[in-house]
Amino acid sequence: METTKSRMRIEDCRALIRDIPDFPKKGIVFKDITPLLRSPGAFQSVIDGIASEALQAGRPDIIACPEARGFIFGSALAYHLGIGFIPIRKPGKLPYATRSVQYDLEYGKDSVHMHVDAIEAGQRVLLIDDVLATGGTMAACASLVEGTGATVTACAFIVELDFLKGRERLGKHPTISLIHY
């Protein structure tokens, strides 16, 4: 069994991500991060790696991330940096009054929500999720955060699917990705 002291190189963490063909639908190759999460050394390495790169973009006051896998990395990173964590959720999942942003999907629309009092004007916010694909969800999260008067310091990801060009959709926001496909 791996101990918590055995951090891994990011290149070795990449080998723990497995391809699941035709999930969630035919033609898509899903990048499954669960083997990486199972490895204490790999999990610590990606949290340390994101923290190091995110701090270069400017120390955030708070971390916000979309459900569900973003919560895994966002909460660990918030703990690591000693700052707060804000969940960004799908409609109907938060108990208090929310603000929202709607965005386009390939076929239809979706929206992201956050409590109206989650972020204050002037705060510096780091956004994090597991995978950057087309960038639609993270662009909506950035818009949601900036609508409060806060600033997005960076958008961070463990994995980036370069061929989908999601980075372009994030525009002005510094984008951090540890592993590229």
Q: Which member of 69, 99, 124, 146 is catalytic?
A: 69
Q: How far apart are the first and last CA of the chain?
A: 29
Q: Would you call 18 a catalytic residue per the annotation? A: no
**CA–CA separation, 175 vs 160, rounded Å?**
10
**CA–CA separation, 115 vs 94, rounded Å?**
7
Question: The tokens of 21 are what?
Answer: 């063909």
- Which one-letter amino acid corresponds to residue 94? L
**CA–CA separation, 177 vs 179, rounded Å?**
6
Helices (H), the chain: 10-14, 34-38, 40-56, 69-81, 136-146, 166-169
**CA–CA separation, 181 vs 178, rounded Å?**
10
∠ CA 4-33-175 to the nearest 5 degrees? Answer: 95
**8 Å CB contact between 88 and 66:** yes
Q: Would you call 69 a catalytic residue per the annotation? A: yes
**Would you please indicate which residues are annotated as catalytic (active-site) residues?**
69, 106
